[in-house]
Structure 1
């Protein structure tokens, strides 16, 4: 039997009304899911305030309510707990409810603007291939060893995190690799978790619709490392200007990786081709099918993490050589006849787009054209829209601006806001085609023998969100369909 008092351990409580020595059944922050003897935590979200649904939750059987403000109507037989921050309280409560699962496995957090999904997913793949029971919490999916669960958030809510970590413990999982987003940190979704290690990939322009300033965005990321304990390790990319800043105040053991700077884990690119990379990692050569300098950084982070988790160097290198690209991360297909190469990548920030374009341009012969199809998401950071357009047009022969996930915004308006960033000399190379499928088809029609098409922004996503409705849309499948038609 678990009591309300048990799950409130470590929660800063401001006031209590009722008895905490009561048995509870389940934990929810969505009033629609509440049943008899459950605990309802009222969260103030960006769009909905859970405090408005306290009465509903109680009517459905909630035996306890955790909230920041007591409701006007206090019902008998229900315990009310007032806290300063119900999001943080929820994270601690969830951790207690599931019996601190993160302390029973080695949980590694990956944070940064770009590379989180690739690093966490490849670490999962690597340790799985090496014979370990492994967990993954990522943008793409949650894996409890071999059991797969879908997810909509980079860092899920704290109940979901702890629930799956507990399932991992039950499944005998040794290691879990988890993406840690700035939203997740700021909203305390990771509060109460015990991380055995943290990885910083890089920092660039993103999420300024939420964080307002770059400094705030940076400082939220740093908070993750500040909260690691001295038994953990912290790995940072010191080629990034914010790399050392991230570890400034961490109690964790500090390690560095780099391509350009002396570091604990040094990587050099010996060969860079469409078939892969030949790297030197701390003077050991290894071939990987991953492509581009940004993936060399990702491999360095993976190598460092595996080494610090006790994987022998030769086994480490062997497993790196077996890694396969993550869905929607520089995935490419080639048309059978014209040998047109189409690359699908999740690049949805100016820096990520620049990295992908630089990679393509560093490999190609320049006898072919590079056609980029790109858009920007609606209801997100508007300041990056003209920058995305500037980056795309500066490094491509042709650019087609199109719809991404417009959500509640007008896609034509988003495209217009992107076009503001196009420099005068590049205006002639641009087209605007709002329908994404039509834009991809046009890129395929424009492509001549040997040309390269980059479809950026959505990567692994298999949907397009328009006015709150998600419809099936997979960039890779769509471009494959049109490339097949080219041979006719």
Structure 2
């Protein structure tokens, strides 16, 4: 039996009306899911305010209401807990309800603009290869041992996080690797979690629709490291100008990785080819089938984290050499007949797109065309759109601007904003095709032997969102189908 008072441990409470010595069944922030003897937490969201649904939760049988603003009328027999911040309160309540699950395994959070999914997923791969039971909370999926669950958010809500961490405890999971987004930090989704370590990848232009300024975006990321305990480690990319800033106030053990500067974990690229990377990490050579400078950085972070988590050096290198590309992250296929290479990547920020294009240009012989298919998502930071257009047109031989996930925006208008960044001398390189499938088909039709097609922006996603409706759409499947069609 769980009592209300037990799940309120460490919650910043302003006042209580009613009895906290009552048994509860469940907790939720969706009034529709509330049933007899549940706790309803009223959350203020961007679209809806949970305080407007308190009456519905009471009607459905809630025994307690946690809120930032008390309803005008309180019902006898229901306990009302007034808090300063409902989102933070939910995180603490969820942590208590599921018996502090993060403290019963080694939880490592990965944050930064680019590389979060790759690093967390590859660490999951590496520790699985090493024979451990491992968990993963990422953009692509949630994994508990051998079970996989779908997810729609980079960092899920705090209730979902703690629920799956508890499943990991029950399954005997020893390590969990988790993407920590700026939204997740700002909305207190990770509050109350006990992290064994944190990794900072890099910081570039993204999410300014939400954070309003780059400084705010940067400071939110830093908050994650500020809150790490003394017993944790904090790994930063010292080549990134914000790397040292992230660790200024952390109590955790500070470690660095880099390609260009001195660091605790120094990575050098010896060979960089379409077949993979030959790296030297702290004077040890290792071959990886992953490609490009950005993956050299990712592998440096992975090596550092595995080392700090106790993996022996030779084991670490052995398993790094066995890692396979993450879905939608520089995932490529080569058509059998025409030897055309198609690369699908999640690059949806100017920095990520530039990294991918520069990687391809460093590897190709320049006798081939580099055809880029790219767009920008709707209802997101619009200031990056012309920058994406400039990067794509500067670094490709041909570009097709197309629709990404337009959501509630007009896709043609988004494309116009992307085109605005194209300089006059690059106009002859570009065409615009709103229909994404048709754009991919056109890229395949344009391609000749040994040409390279990059399809950027959606990566692992298997849907396209238009006006709130998600339809099946998988870049990898479509380009594979189109290349087979043209190669017949």
- TM (norm. structure 2) is 1.00
Question: What is the deviation of 1:173?
Answer: 0.7
Alignment of 1:435-474 (within 5 A): 435-474=435-474
Helix, strand or coil at the partner of 1:16: strand
Question: What is the deviation of 1:3?
Answer: 0.6
Matching residue of 2:298: 298
What is the number of equivalent residue pairs in this alignment?
488
CA RMSD of aligned residues (A): 0.5
Runs of 4+ in 1 over 3 A off after TM superposition: none
Q: Assess if the C-alpha contact under 8 Å between 1:335 and 1:486 holds in 2.
A: no
Q: Assess if the C-alpha contact under 8 Å between 1:2 and 1:24 holds in 2.
A: yes
Question: What is the deviation of 1:239?
Answer: 0.3
Alignment of 1:123-202 (within 5 A): 123-202=123-202
Matching residue of 1:363: 363
Rounded Cα–Cα distance in structure 2 between residues aligned with 1:230 and 1:325: 33
Q: Assess if the C-alpha contact under 8 Å between 1:338 and 1:486 holds in 2.
A: no
Greater mean deviation of Cα atoms: 12-21 or 346-355: 12-21
Rounded Cα–Cα distance in structure 2 between residues aligned with 1:450 and 1:324: 23
For structure 1, the 5+ residue unaligned runs are none
Question: What is the deviation of 1:138?
Answer: 0.2
Helix, strand or coil at the partner of 1:322: coil
Query: C-alpha offsets along residues 445-478 of structure 1, whole Å, 9 cap, x if unaligned?
Result: 1111111000000000000000000000000000
Rounded Cα–Cα distance in structure 1 between residues aligned with 2:75 and 2:433: 57
Alignment of 1:406-485 (within 5 A): 406-485=406-485
Query: C-alpha offsets along residues 105-164 of structure 1, whole Å, 9 cap, x if unaligned?
Result: 000000000000000000000000110000000000000111111110000000000000
Q: Does residue 402 of structure 1 match 2:402?
A: yes
Matching residue of 2:311: 311
Question: What is the deviation of 1:344?
Answer: 0.2
Rounded Cα–Cα distance in structure 1 between residues aligned with 2:338 and 2:104: 54
Matching residue of 1:387: 387
Alignment of 1:194-343 (within 5 A): 194-343=194-343
Q: Assess if the C-alpha contact under 8 Å between 1:348 and 1:376 holds in 2.
A: yes
Matching residue of 1:21: 21
Helix, strand or coil at the partner of 2:40: strand
Matching residue of 2:35: 35
Q: Assess if the C-alpha contact under 8 Å between 1:386 and 1:417 holds in 2.
A: yes
Rounded Cα–Cα distance in structure 1 between residues aligned with 2:485 and 2:174: 47
Q: Does residue 353 of structure 1 match 2:318?
A: no
Question: What is the deviation of 1:334?
Answer: 1.0
For structure 2, the 5+ residue unaligned runs are none
Question: What is the deviation of 1:338?
Answer: 1.1
Rounded Cα–Cα distance in structure 2 between residues aligned with 1:76 and 1:412: 55
Q: Assess if the C-alpha contact under 8 Å between 1:133 and 1:175 holds in 2.
A: yes
Query: C-alpha offsets along residues 248-275 of structure 1, whole Å, 9 cap, x if unaligned?
Result: 0000000000000010000000001111
